[in-house]
Amino acid sequence: MERRSWAEPYKIKMVEPIKMLSREERERAIVEAGYNTFLLRSDDVYIDLLTDSGTSAMSDYQWAGLMLGDEAYAGSRSFYHLVDAVKDVYGYPELVPTHQGRGAEHILSQILIKPGDIVPGNMYFTTTRFHQEYAGGTFVDVIVDEAHEPASRFPFKGNVDMAKLRALVDEYGSERIPYISVETNVNMAGGQPISMANLREVYEYCHANDIYVMLDATRALENAYFIQRREPGYEDKTIREILFEICSYSDGATVSSKKDNLVNIGGFLALRDPELAKRARALLVAFEGLHTYGGMSGRDMEALARGIREMVATDDHVAARVGQVEYLGNLIDKAGVPIVQPIGGHGIFLDAKSILPHIPQDEFPAQALTAALYVDSGVRGMERGIVSAGRDPETGEHHYPKLELVRLAIPRRVYTQAHMDVVAESVVHLYEHKDEIGGLEFTYEPEELRFFQARFKPIG
Ligand code: PM9
């Protein structure tokens, strides 16, 4: 058949102006922000690829839902719409609503982890590991080795290495391992999927050993897309069917609804076991809000219920979303700039270690490259390397992750192909002038989740 281009399955009804500051203004802004793009004002940013979290454009149907939200303190109609949407699309019968993903991680960690426990996971995520450690647990990475190699084109870099998991269970015993935390489309690995076959194997093994499987299903939709594209037997299944099957191999999930679910705020913990859900709700009322709203308003829950149904209503939605990421990735890749391969689901991850080999890792190459990109074009990305990895709580030493990346995360339904062209041009220009970029040092280092508020200055 003749090959045709694809296009987004929507048209634009409202726009928000953006502007680019002059180079002098951008240079001033990055100094004021301590070379940390989290500390820039959004008015000073031209194209904002800091995160795909809470930055999506909602549909007219979601916006209409905001007007229909039921703001009752207890038993809101919008809560029940959300319960039904989560049950229908993800398949979990018990819903514990939270203000966002980390609220769900906090509750889950508190009900399941005892001090001294071990929590295996397919690569760490910043807030997830924080809550596991805060509850007294120790996170252990059991992801396949390929995930730590930016250039490896292994199609399922989110897979759990069963040998690593088995060795951990043999070493500590399943009594000390309350659950495995399985992230879908692993963020820190570059938006890389886990295969259905691997997830099924993890689930069967863990169940035989009395270990819960808890998904971080924040980007499970994008994972479902890669399974449809890459895993034999799934090419004719719908995204909706694949997503449902992913969740069937788990006992529950934490979700930051600010990603796949197409809302600006919200999240949930979803469970199968009513007894576990009861324990979660007991904590929820202390830390988040009543069990029928968690941290969300009625209108937030209404928009979220609609977003969950909308994301699976047609396969074209996720195909266009990941298609835009691939469009940007291909432009950058074709110019020879090293990026994480294969191109992931929610953004392009520049391999700062390869791009800036003259900057040692403890002079923060990815942080420096992120700042340089902003100065070059007003494009805001995020460091995903040694700064994000933080320090070992026992030794106080930096974690030295193999991946030292700059993430360019693409908000859903927000930017056009022309914006992607501008981003790619700037990345390629920087690559051609990479020798002019130098390392950074801390002027302020927060103890917890340091990457959010740390400040830096150039060395020398
Ligand atoms: N992710 C992101 O930009 C926002 C904060 S950066 C620390 O990628 C996963 C896989 C996430 C995630 C947030 C959360 C936390 C959990 N799991 O931000 O609390 O990517 O809604 O979710 C961010 P909340």
CATH code for the domain of 117: 3.40.640.10
Instruction: Please indicate, yes or no, if residue 282 is contained in any of the structural domains.
Output: yes
Whether residues 306 and 371 fall in one domain: no
Instruction: Please indicate, yes or no, if residue 14 is contained in any of the structural domains.
Output: no
Cβ-count burial of 358 within 10 angstroms (0-12 exposed, 13-18 middle, 19+ buried)?
exposed
Q: Which of these is catalytic: 73, 400, 444, 452? A: 73
Per residue of the chain (460 residues), what is the pLDDT tens digit?
677 888 999 999 999 999 999 999 999 999 999 999 999 999 999 999 999 999 999 999 999 999 999 999 999 999 999 999 999 999 999 999 999 999 999 999 999 999 999 999 999 999 999 999 999 999 999 999 999 999 999 999 999 999 999 999 999 999 999 999 999 999 999 999 999 999 999 999 999 999 999 999 999 999 999 999 999 999 999 999 999 999 999 999 999 999 999 999 999 999 999 999 999 999 999 999 999 999 999 999 999 999 999 999 999 999 999 999 999 999 999 999 999 999 999 999 999 999 999 999 999 999 999 999 999 999 999 999 999 999 998 899 999 999 999 999 999 999 999 999 999 999 999 999 999 999 999 999 999 999 999 999 999 7
Nearest-angstrom CA–CA distance, 314 and 318: 8
Residue 125 a catalytic site member:
yes
Whether residues 278 and 334 fall in one domain: no
Range of the domain at 202: 60-311
- Which residue's alpha carbon is nearest to atom 1 within ligand 1? 53
Ligand 1 pocket mutation pick from 36, 48, 105, 127 by most atoms within 8 angstroms of CB: 127
Residue 127 a catalytic site member:
no
Ligand 1 neighbours (beta carbon < 6 A): 51, 53, 100-102, 125-128, 183, 187, 216, 218, 256, 258, 267
Q: Which atom of ligand 1 is nearest to the CA of 256?
A: 21
Whether residues 184 and 131 fall in one domain: yes
Count other Cβ atoms within 10 Å, centred on residue 360. Answer: 11
Residue 73 a catalytic site member:
yes
Whether residues 148 and 34 fall in one domain: no
Instruction: Please indicate, yes or no, if residue 76 is contained in any of the structural domains.
Output: yes
Whether residues 301 and 360 fall in one domain: no
Ligand 1 pocket mutation pick from 52, 53, 257, 268 by most atoms within 8 angstroms of CB: 53
Instruction: Please indicate, yes or no, if residue 324 is contained in any of the structural domains.
Output: yes
Whether residues 278 and 375 fall in one domain: no
Residue 249 a catalytic site member:
no
List the one residue out of 39, 55, 86, 68 whose CA is nearest residue 308. Answer: 86
Domain end among 275, 294, 311: 311
Whether residues 42 and 108 fall in one domain: no
- Read off the pTM: 0.96
As for how many domains the chain has, the answer is: 2
Whether residues 303 and 364 fall in one domain: no
Whether residues 338 and 256 fall in one domain: no
**β partners of residue 455:** 444
Domain end among 311, 342, 370: 311
Instruction: Please indicate, yes or no, if residue 442 is contained in any of the structural domains.
Output: yes
7 CA distance to ligand 1 middle (Å)? 28
Whether residues 220 and 321 fall in one domain: no
CATH number at residue 449: 3.90.1150.10
Domain end among 270, 290, 311: 311
Mark out the alpha helices in 161-266 (DSSP H runs).
162-172, 196-208, 220-230, 239-248
Q: Which of these is catalytic: 237, 259, 299, 380? A: 259
Whether residues 394 and 448 fall in one domain: yes
Q: Which of these is catalytic: 157, 321, 384, 450? A: 384
